[in-house]
Amino acid sequence: MIYLLEVPALSGTNLMVVMGILTLVFVGIIFFMRTRFNRFSDSDLTAVHADRQKKSPLDSRNKYPEVDAFRYSGTLLNYGLLAALGAAILAFSWTQYDAEIFIPDDALEIEDDIEIEPPRTAEPPPPPPPPPPPVIEEVPDEEIVE
């Protein structure tokens, strides 16, 4: 058999650590993008683009190309898909281990057979005898003469 992808088993603690790291990376990307776009909010983008010539109608799709959020939509979508796939793989590899129960070697040895007497109970009285069957009388056949 060929295993294409063998996922190691993760305990609950390891799973939470990895999910926490993924969450921190995701929050870090959000803060990075916010600071990147807020950097341009202080500058006067109107004055920078006042003398800009529009060569085609498609140029006016983005009023200010520096703060175009859709430029990163493909990258962020791919990151989201990767994070969702990673979280699903981690969730499927989560394993709960049962505590190992120690049974000594001589714990199952019984030295003597122990006889247990069943408790004595009063026997119920026998049921009454059934009633006698009814007596069936034979009736002779009568011949009908016409």
| Averaged confidence pLDDT in the chain | 79
Q: What percent of the chain has pLDDT over 70?
A: 88
Main-chain phi, psi angles of 94, to 5 degrees:
-70, 130
Residue range(s) defining the domain that contains residue 42: 8-47+66-98
Domain count, the chain: 1
Instruction: Answer yes or no: is 91 within a domain.
Output: yes
With contact defined as beta carbons under 8 Å apart, do 70 and 43 qualify?
A: no
Which tens digits make up the pLDDT trace of 83-116?
Answer: 899 888 888 877 777 778 888 877 777 777 777 8
Alpha-carbon gap, residue 18 to 78, rounded angstroms = 19
Instruction: Answer yes or no: is 121 within a domain.
Output: no
* Rounded (5°) CA angle 38-42-48: 110
Tokens linked to 118: 């069943």
Instruction: Answer yes or no: is 39 within a domain.
Output: yes
Highest mean pLDDT pick, 43-52, 57-66, 84-93? 84-93
Instruction: Answer yes or no: is 120 within a domain.
Output: no
pLDDT at 131 over 70: yes
More confident residue, 48 or 76: 76
